[in-house]
Amino acid sequence: MTKYQKQTRLLAAVDCIVFGFDGHTMRLLLIQRALEAERGKWSLMGGFVQPHESADEAAKRVLHALTGLQGVYLEQLHTFSDPARDPIERTLSIAYFSLIDISQYEKQLSEEYHAEWFDLSAAPRLIFDHNEMVAMAKEKLRYKAALHPLLFELLPKKFTLPQLQTLFEGVYETKFDKRNFSRKLLSTGLLVRQADKDMSASRKGAFYYKLNSKNYKAKFQDFLNLIPRTGAR
């Protein structure tokens, strides 16, 4: 088979940044690296792209193999290609970010690789350039969440307005006025109130809501009024 002459072969890897929400806090899923260098230190879920698969296929395989997760939201973020990013061998890494509702997938996590959830604001130092990957994923999430209903991937099908506000405050690292946030959100017509309530947080309780996906597509510009300005791309 013909090959390109005088070209250096590079390794290609994928790394998965998995964001979760437990109803109170934004979290990041990490594992302890099993290979040298940096064996035993905290890492994103990663692995090498095999000759027979695409990067997307590799990301899904790696995420499932290391955590047991499958069928979750997964989006390609960026290719990290600094020649010195991996001290063992020249390796390009194609990073992906994933969003999951922790309560839905907690029991699905594989125990083999001891994946653990960390508070996103207090995550440990990661290997190589993985902290840079997480920072970029956070900015991309903030930008895209202003345009698309991505954050609802982090919520159960039914959720309360306090849960939704807590989620947005965690993602954007800012505080919203409770009354103003609820008023603006309900005025968009993007949410459908359910008959039942969550009674766990107060005696009065909080109504559950569901996202009206059809209305969201038609009125997504209304959603932008809730989101702090961000220049991330």
CATH of the domain at 221: 1.10.10.10
Query: Based on the domain organization, do 82 and 173 belong to the same domain?
Result: no
- Residue 154 Ramachandran class (φ > 0 left, ψ -120 to 50 alpha, else beta): alpha
Residues lower than pLDDT 70 in the chain: 1, 108, 110, 216-233
The CATH number assigned to the domain holding 83 equals: 3.90.79.10
119 in any annotated domain: yes
Q: Where are the beta strands (DSSP E) in 10-72?
A: 11-21, 26-32, 42-43, 45-48
- Domain of 190 in residue numbering reads as 156-226
pLDDT of residue 219: 63
What is the chain's alpha carbon radius of gyration, rounded to the nearest angstrom? Answer: 20
Residue whose tokens read 């990073």: 95
Distance set, CA 230 to CA 145, 147, 155 (Å)? 11, 11, 23
Q: Please indicate, yes or no, if residue 165 is contained in any of the structural domains.
A: yes
What's the pLDDT at 12? 97
Residue 220 placed within a domain: yes
pTM: 0.87
**pLDDT value of position 233:** 43
> Do 34 and 65 lie in a common domain?
yes
One domain, residues 107 and 18: yes
- Does the residue 232 lie in any domain? no
pLDDT single digits (tens) 125-170: 999 999 999 999 999 999 888 777 788 889 888 999 999 999 999 9
For 129-177, the three-class secondary structure string (H helix, E strand, C coil) is: CHHHHHHHHHHHHHHHHCCCCHHHHHCCCCEEHHHHHHHHHHHHCCCCC
Residues 196 and 131 in one domain: no
Domain boundary among 88, 121, 145: 145
Residue 202 lies in a domain: yes
Q: Does 109 lie in the same domain as 57?
A: yes
Domain boundary among 145, 170, 204: 145
51 plus 140 within the same structural domain: yes
Q: Is residue 25 part of a domain?
A: yes
Q: Kindly state whether residues 169 and 209 are assigned to the same domain.
A: yes
pLDDT of residue 114: 79
Q: Which one of 110, 145, 180 terminates a domain? A: 145
Domain-embedded: residue 4: no
**5 found inside a domain:** no
pLDDT at 221: 58
Q: What is the pLDDT of residue 124?
A: 95
* Total domains in the fold of the chain: 2
Shared domain for 36 and 91, answered yes or no, is yes
Looking at residue 187, its pLDDT comes to 81
